[in-house]
Chain A
């Protein structure tokens, strides 16, 4: 069954049955979802998130800046990122390396403090809270990492790896842990006898299952998967994607799925956000991606992926060299490689709504207003 057909029905059922006090509380808040019109508060609301890093420079250059009063150059990893994740929704973040995808995950997990912006999970701010509030938030949000080899401590047995989150959060009595671990393992398709073994004894796919089990052991509401399948072989990738889909359906959790692979994101996500140089340049329902994607950057990614996946002819100009990351500046970051670039593109275009749920940051679509078909791109 197509996972994207599920959420709404399952969601209403969940609220009616009172499953999960959190969902009920969110429903009581009764906010209308801006893109779908659902009268439910989103699980996570991120607004105006910015994060920049000071660029590493030689000491002499730093002294010169200080002497002349120039501000140190900064890398803007995220600029004005705003989005929502609904209950039981899978949001896919798509972008090339250096687009800010991983920074986003890290800021949400509290690993980097944001420069400005807010993120609210179930009515609680992720950034403003004191230690206890932050701790509680982290229990609701867990992460699956990219590299199944470096994200598991090689000197800890699987039992210790899985018990660690329970110990840190002081969840349940010690006597219950074993049952919890056993349930978790069977959920991710691993045998009970793995508990006393060590990560080195497992294949990449099995390790990723252990990583997923560790993330689920605290019963979170939101899983953040940062390139969770890109280190795996295609055959194992398919297994892990299938597992994530099943878990999502069985547990009713939400998923923020970050990846550079457009084909993978499209299969698993309900809604896709395209990130380019730290900005959201397009957001649209996953089922519309192939026909409706219109931002030049999204089209470029799609063209390349269609060539690799479906043996489609390569769009003109894509086989050659492009400048790569030109660095941050004002205005639309695509204007150098876009054949329709004009004077207007020196200003950053705002996100405007093309169709319900489909937003794009491109002047071509902003000026011509609503109703203009994406075929014009």
Chain B
């Protein structure tokens, strides 16, 4: 698409983790995707579809002992993330890539003030920084994350902040070093719509203004549509469809994407319950042969049970892994 090298690219990435009983679990299979600088990419899928593991792979946060095997490549700018050691990753995390976690109550240390939590990252990456320097950065990050008067809250503990403020604090922690890549894993799930929109708007604006890129993970396509330009739909560790968000949501090509859209609660005049997807996501070691969605798909045919369908083009910039796309 552009001549610029992508900020992040994964190709043929597969990952097998050790299950709790020692069995190997193939959690990601042949993941290919690219992210340009300044882009907001949404990753959609149910819990268990592998989207969080994808984020942890990029951040190098998977426990080394649980990895049974992995192949393919992950590149971040000029770096090959597959070959990076823990030391180099620590250098990277917090400064060049950062993560906003789902649950602010468990992701924040209850015994640390807001200043200490946000400032910790600065102190770690700028060992010589004075307190004033740190404070300046912290206040700026909190402002960017939507705190109107950050000074008032610097010595507050997490339990003294409301849910929305805690989420903003998490965002500030991610933004404080102006990272090139921000990964947000379901950052707004537990919030009401008005608060969600404020935060999503903030996230998008800040990411754009700072020239960074955003990888936004959620099970809610409505939320993803509000924040991303590109969409990646995952099912059972496989990217089943990808492309421009608006296009993909208007005309889904994969039956799973269509079902996920049908499951969204609507606010149109005609009142009906959202349509559930029958059955449930298979565990990684019980995936059906062939297309991973074949046992829940209402359009399944004999050919679907052969092998994993290749990713084929389904319009400009769009790829779909389905033998009989919609």
What range describes how many residues of A lie at the interface? 35 or more
Are B273's CB and A267's CB within 8 A?
yes
- A264 interfacial contact with B, CB 8 Å: yes
**Chain B, residue nearest A244 (CB):** B273
Is B264 a contact of A290 with CB atoms below 8 Å?
Answer: no
Q: Taking chain A's interface residues, is the majority helix, strand, or loop, or is none over half, making it mixed?
A: helix
For A310, the closest partner residue in chain B by CB is B267
Contact of A241 with B273 in the complex, beta carbons under 8 Å:
yes
Per the 8 Å Cβ criterion, residues 1-25 of A in contact with B are 2, 4
A205→B265 contact, CB < 8 A: no
B226 & A307 in contact (Cβ 8 Å cutoff)? yes
> Of the 9-residue stretches A60-68, A120-128, A231-239, which lies at the interface with chain B?
A231-239
**B223-A308 in contact (CB<8A):** yes
Q: How far is the CA of A304 from the CA of B164 in the complex (A)?
A: 15
Contact B276 A239 (CB under 8 A): yes
Option from B48, B163, B271 in Cβ contact (under 8 Å) with A97: B163
CB pair A324 B197 closer than 8 Å? no
Q: Is the interface of B mostly helix, strand, loop or mixed?
A: loop
Interface residue A153 (Cβ < 8 Å from any Cβ of B)? no
Q: Is the CB of A235 within 8 A of B197?
A: no
B197/A286 in contact, CB under 8 A: no
Any A CB within 8 A of the CB of B268: yes
Residue A306 lies at the interface, judged by CB distance under 8 Å to chain B = yes
How distant is the Cα of A304 from the Cα of B222 in the complex, in angstroms? 11
Q: Determine if A192 is an interface residue (Cβ-Cβ < 8 Å).
A: no
Most A CB atoms within 10 A — which of B189, B260, B273? Answer: B273
A301 touches B192 (CB 8 A): yes
> In chain A, what residue has the closest Cβ to B202?
A321
A35 proximal to B (CB < 8 A)? no
Question: How far does the alpha carbon of A311 sit from the alpha carbon of B227 in the complex, in Å?
Answer: 11
**Of the candidates B193, B221, B225, which one forms a contact with A262 in the assembled complex, judged by CB atoms under 8 Å apart?**
B193
Query: Nearest Cβ in chain B — how far from A57, in angstroms?
Result: 11
Bitwise interface map of B from 121 to 164 toward A, beta carbon under 8 Å scored 1, else 0: 00000000000000000000000001010000000000000111
B155 to chain A, nearest CB (A): 13
Q: Are A309 and B260 in contact (CB under 8 A)?
A: no
Tally of contacts, chain A with chain B, CB under 8 A: 148
Query: Are B197 and A314 in contact, with the CB atoms below 8 A?
Result: yes
- The answer to whether B280 and A205 touch across the interface, beta carbons within 8 angstroms, is yes
Question: Does A287 have its Cβ within 8 Å of any Cβ on chain B?
Answer: yes
- B201 within 8 Å of A (CB atoms): yes
B47: interface (CB < 8 Å): yes
Q: Is B274 on the interface with A (CB-CB < 8 A)?
A: yes
B46 interface residue (CB < 8 Å to A) = yes
Contacts of A160 in B (CB 8 A): none
Compute how far the CA of A206 lies from the CA of B301 in the bound complex, rounded to whole angstroms: 29
Option from B47, B162, B265, B267 in Cβ contact (under 8 Å) with A306:
B267
Most chain B CB inside 10 Å of its own CB: which residue of A204, A234, A291: A234
- Assess whether A207 is interfacial by the CB under 8 Å rule: no
Query: Cβ of B267 and Cβ of A266 under 8 Å apart?
Result: yes
> Which residues does chain A contribute within 8 Å of B146, judged by CB atoms?
321
Complex Cα distance A262/B265, Å?
Answer: 9
Contact of A309 among B163, B222, B281 (CB under 8 A): B222
B326 at the interface (CB under 8 A from A): no
For the complex, what is the distance from the CA of A46 to the CA of B323, rounded to whole Å? Answer: 57
Residues of A within 8 A of B67 (CB): none
User: Does B198 sit at the interface, judged by CB under 8 A?
Assistant: yes
Q: Using Cβ atoms and an 8 Å threshold, which residues of chain B touch A266?
A: 265, 267, 271
Cross-chain pairs A/B with CB under 8 angstroms, 14 sampled? A233-B47, A235-B219, A236-B280, A237-B265, A237-B274, A238-B274, A238-B277, A263-B265, A267-B265, A291-B269, A304-B193, A306-B267, A308-B226, A314-B197
Q: List the 8 closest pairs (A to B, CB-CB), nearest first.
A: A263-B265, A260-B192, A238-B276, A304-B193, A239-B276, A238-B274, A304-B194, A233-B219
Known A98-B163, A311-B225; 4 more pairs at CB < 8 Å: A96-B195, A261-B192, A287-B271, A308-B193
